Amino acid sequence: MDATIENIGVSQRANLEVFSGTLQQLAQTDRDIIVVTSDSRGSGKLVPFGQQFPDQIIEVGIAEQNLVGVAAGLASTGKKVFAVSPACFLTARALEQIKNDVAYSNNPVKLIGISAGVSYGALGSTHHSLHDFAVLRTIHNLIVVAPADNFETEQAILLAADTGMPVYIRFGKKPMPLLSEEERTFAFGKGRIVREGTDITIIGTGETVAPALLAAEKLERANNISATVVSMHTIKPLDYDLLQNIAASGQPIVTVEEHSIYGGLGEACASFLIQNSLHNRFKIIGIPDEYTVTGSQTEIFNHYGISEEGIAAAALGLIG
């Protein structure tokens, strides 16, 4: 049986649901957990949280600037605040509040970008967040995370609740497979190797790691090429040690992201490699400089080569 998204690892829940469930668990013993939403209770799967902890959810209406400012004010008093909003609006409309009220003032808000990347698919480019890595990477004092599977999501939420730093975490709506039974360690700033290989390395982030893993299995099956797959869940701080090690092995590197090819994971990796004279063959896969085609998240992924076939073809191109 060929590998599919459904049968790599164990098919599980949407990362979004893991987020809301983890938050609910945390709130049972921690009255300081506060959710702030901008009419995103439903889309954030936070209805059960709100029912169970009505005093720990603050609704500001569709007002993202206020969402982030209020969250920062709450966090300044010691609350563990999760500000939840669609990633596209949270990181564009409230960018100045993220920069000033959260990161510059060091109010450790957990900014949760839901329905990230092209999760909203056919709703179009107003609803896509393909800029968030690029803009948030330039903001000092902010951790930027895109978990790949349910395990990473749960760990990211637990760590975020405990850290004294501002964190941005983004994920989509689709059920995600468990990407590795073996590698079950997680720390911000440390990439997670979900598949070991010797010929090429594919570095993905967020929901692109699953197709990267499928591509690796296809390369093994069809071409006898052994690929490493890394979930680089933390875009910033980037895991330079891991990149250094990968590059030192001489393997070609493919990066894959649900983001513009400008300013995201790929360019972050390329910048590190070039500046350290590590000239591995290198390819960035992401959304090109255009407003995306219409379609579901999967269709858009397939269109731009963020897929088993597309990633495998890019890998072969580098090795060829």
- Which residues of this protein are in contact with another protein, per CB under 8 A? 34, 36, 55, 58, 60-61, 63, 65-66, 68-79, 96-97, 100-101, 104-107
The single-letter DSSP state of residue 243 is: H
- By C-beta, is 72 or 84 nearer to another protein? 72
Per DSSP (E only), the strands in the chain are 11-14, 33-37, 57-59, 80-86, 110-114, 143-145, 167-170, 175-177, 192-195, 200-204, 227-231, 234-236, 253-260, 282-287
Q: Which two tokens stand for residue 204?
A: 């993905």
Minimal distance, residue 77 CB to another protein, in Å: 4
- By C-beta, is 101 or 132 nearer to another protein? 101
Q: Are 200 and 314 in contact (CB under 8 A)?
A: no
- By C-beta, is 106 or 226 nearer to another protein? 106
Minimal distance, residue 72 CB to another protein, in Å: 6
* Nearest by Cα to 91 from 73, 75, 112: 112
- By C-beta, is 48 or 61 nearer to another protein? 61
- By C-beta, is 101 or 217 nearer to another protein? 101
- By C-beta, is 34 or 112 nearer to another protein? 34
Minimal distance, residue 115 CB to another protein, in Å: 21
Per DSSP (E only), the strands in 51-106 are 57-59, 80-86
Minimal distance, residue 114 CB to another protein, in Å: 20
Minimal distance, residue 292 CB to another protein, in Å: 28
Minimal distance, residue 160 CB to another protein, in Å: 18
Q: What are φ and ψ of residue 262, in 5° steps?
A: -90, 125
- Which residues, including other chains, have CB under 8 Å from residue 48's CB and lie 6 or more apart? 20, 24
Measure the CA–CA gap between 135 and 105, rounded to whole angstroms.
Answer: 18
